[in-house]
Each structure stands twice: as structure tokens, then as C-alpha cells.
Structure 1
Amino acid sequence: METKQFFVRCLSTVASSFLIMACSSSNESVFQPSMSVNVKMEATNDINAFEDDIARPLVVRVYQLKETGAFEKADFISLYESDSTVLAGTLVDTKVLAPVLPEEKRSFVLEVQQEAKAIAVFAEFADYEVAVSKGLVALVEEPDETPIIIRISQTKIEITQPVDSSWW
């Protein structure tokens, strides 16, 4: 009887060991760390001016996207009122920045997730009907080595990630 119990215990131990080894045999980590990307933002002295020509602070949203189609097709009101719904299938992360002041220069670090392929910006301009309120840039091959630049003028927001030289 003891021999039978010993055999069953040994068999269970061996089977458990194989099961554990099978589950942990992958060298690939499930967790993928984010990349720290430097962002430089600068605003002119006339940002977000309306009919009275008085510059005002401007709220800017930064989106990390898997693909860009939904963002490119979306209009101002759709993004303003329900960005998470409009971008649901492609949205990786969103960051709402503190209001940007006229003539402000700001630098910050954006933690870009591995699955993000593009960074988009959306500016809540007062005169949104004439403003260029969206900007988009595809991430370069090694985004943590090249800063992103956001420029804001009276009725326009732009985003770039210039590279020093091309790889070819």
C-alpha cells in the first residue's frame, strides 16, 4: 500500500513539474515597458484668440494611437464631446495637459506604450470652426531617442518628430 502511495505521489510531482515548466517555457515577457519620450511644446503670444483678438489659455489633449484612421476622420465636436468613444478601437492612452498659456514653452516626458504607433494632439480652440485643431505624427523607429515637438499658433496646432538623418 505504501509503495502505491509513494508511486502516486512521485507521479503527481513529476506531472506538476512538467506542467509548471510548460507554462514558463516562453522567454518572451508579457509585460512590455513604456518608452520615455521627451516632448517640447511652444505657444505663440496670440494663441486661442477669438473675435476680440485676446489670447487665451488652451487645453491640449495628447493621444497615443494604434492606428490613425479614426482620429483623421473625426471632427472637432466628436473629439471634444466623446473622444474615448470615437477613438475606442485604436486608443492606447490619453493625457490632458494643463492649459497652455500664451508664449509658454514647456517640456515634459510622455510615457509612450509599446503598442502606440502614432501620437496625436487635439487643441480646444475657442474659434474651432476656422482652427486647425488636430495634429498627428507617426512615431519614428526609436521614439525615445527623438523628441516630439508641438507648436501652437493663433488657430493651429502642429506636432512633429524630426529625425536628424534618414536611415537610408
Structure 2
Amino acid sequence: MIRLITLGSLLGLVLVGCSSTSNSAFQPALNIELNIEATGDINVFEDGEARPVILRIYQLNDVGNFDKASFTRLYSDDQSALAGSLIDTKQLSAVLPGEKRTLVLDVQQQAKFLAVFAEFSNYETATSKSSVALVEEPESYPVFIAITHDKVEITQPVKEAWWKF
């Protein structure tokens, strides 16, 4: 009888240990619409011809390391440059001059910022990185990446209520 009670108690503990709570470590990713638009004159080489550009999208919990990192540091070792703040990264296929692209980005719920890094050929004078703080309920508002000549910019506009001035 004591053996049966002990076995029942152990089984109960095992089942409680396997139950989930509302504070589960796993949280599903947020699906955020990402719109990319490039002008026809992006990433122009010395011959005057526009070329495709590679983009990397970073999910960050802080932008300090991203803002401080140089082009060459991000290009060659982004994992170490963003250590401590990097949640996830995604390299996109090359964006062509004049291209418009829409995709859905799976963003981890811990991410507070999205950042973009563009691999421009003329990186010394280009604006090759940009970041945006995610808004409350980020899946409700699309993110936009604009690529113009030698500049990349990321935004997440929020429509203001009509009664706010």
C-alpha cells in the first residue's frame, strides 16, 4: 500500500513537471509584413551601372552595438559585432535595381528593434545601415525598407488617429 501511494505521488510530480504554464519559454514568432522598394539607381559602380545589393535583416534587443559597428565589422563578423544584442538574422537574396518585394518576416517576440544592413559597393560614402524600434503590436503594422542610390532606410509607420494633432 505504501509502495502504491509513493508511486502515485511520483507520477503526480512527473505530470506536474510536464505541464505547461502561461509563462512558457517558447513564444511563437510574430509575422510582420516586410516591404522592400529599390530605386533604379542603387549600388552604382564606377562604370555608372546599377547593381543588385544584398540585405541582412537583424532582430535586436538593443541597437547600441549595431549603431557603433562599422561597415567592415558588420560585413566580416556581424555575429561578434552584435554579440549580446542579436536575437536573429536573415540574409535576403539580392535586391535588384527597381525591384519591389513583399515578404513575411518571422520576428521573435524578444526583439525590440529591426535593423537592416546593405552591402553597397561604395561603402565608404554609403549609408549602409538603419534601424527602427518595433511598435506596440508590431505584427499590425508593416515594415518598409527603402533603398535609394547608396542609402538604405527602415521604417515602421504607425497611422495616427484622426483626432490627434
Same-fold call, TM cutoff 0.5: yes
Is 2:25 the partner of 1:30?
yes
* Cα deviation, residue 145, structure 1: 0.5
Q: Which runs of 5+ in 1 are unaligned?
A: 1-5
Question: Residue 125 of structure 1 aligns with which residue?
Answer: 120
Partner-residue secondary structure (3-state), 1:17: helix
- The one-letter amino acid of 1:20's match is L
Larger Rg, first or second structure (1 or 2): 1
TM-score (norm 2): 0.91
Give 4+ residue runs of structure 1 displaced > 4 Å after superposition: none
Report the secondary structure of 1:83's partner residue: helix
Q: Which residue of 2 aligns with 1:54?
A: 49
Where does residue 151 of structure 2 map in the other structure? Answer: 156
Give the SS at the match of 1:131: coil
TM-score if structure 1 supplies the norm length? 0.90
Cα RMSD of the aligned pairs, angstroms, is 1.9
The separation in 1 between residues aligned to 2:91 and 2:20, in whole angstroms, is 41
The number of aligned residues is 163
Q: String of CA shifts for 1:113-136, please: whole Å, max 9, x gaps.
A: 011110000000000000000010
Amino acid corresponding to residue 8 of structure 2 in structure 1 = T
Show the counterpart of 1:112.
107
1:44 aligns with 2:17: no
The DSSP-based 3-state class of the residue aligned with 1:120 is strand
- Letter in structure 2 aligned against 1:12: L
CA distance in 2, matches of 1:152, 1:82: 23
Secondary structure of residue in 2 paired with 1:122: strand
Deviation at 1:14, TM superposition (A): 2.4
Aligned match of 1:12: 7
Structure 2 unpaired stretches of 5+? none
Q: Match of 2:76? A: 81
Write the deviation string for residues 10-63 of structure 1: whole angstroms up to 9, x where unpaired. 133124414533663733322100010001110011100133221001011101
Q: Name the structure 2 match of 1:3.
A: none
Q: What do residues 135-164 of structure 1 show as CA deviations (whole Å, max 9, x unaligned)?
A: 100000011010000000111000000000
What displacement does 1:89 show? 1.2
CA deviation map 1:88-135 (0-9, x unaligned): 211111111110111001101000001111000000000000000001
Give 1:68's aligned amino acid. Answer: V
Which whole-Å CA distance do the structure 1 matches of 2:103 and 2:14 have between them?
Answer: 46
- Compute the displacement of 1:85 (Å): 1.2
- Please give the alpha-carbon distance, in whole angstroms, between the structure 1 residues aligned to 2:120 and 2:2: 75
Counterpart-to-counterpart distance in 1, 2:91 and 2:66: 16
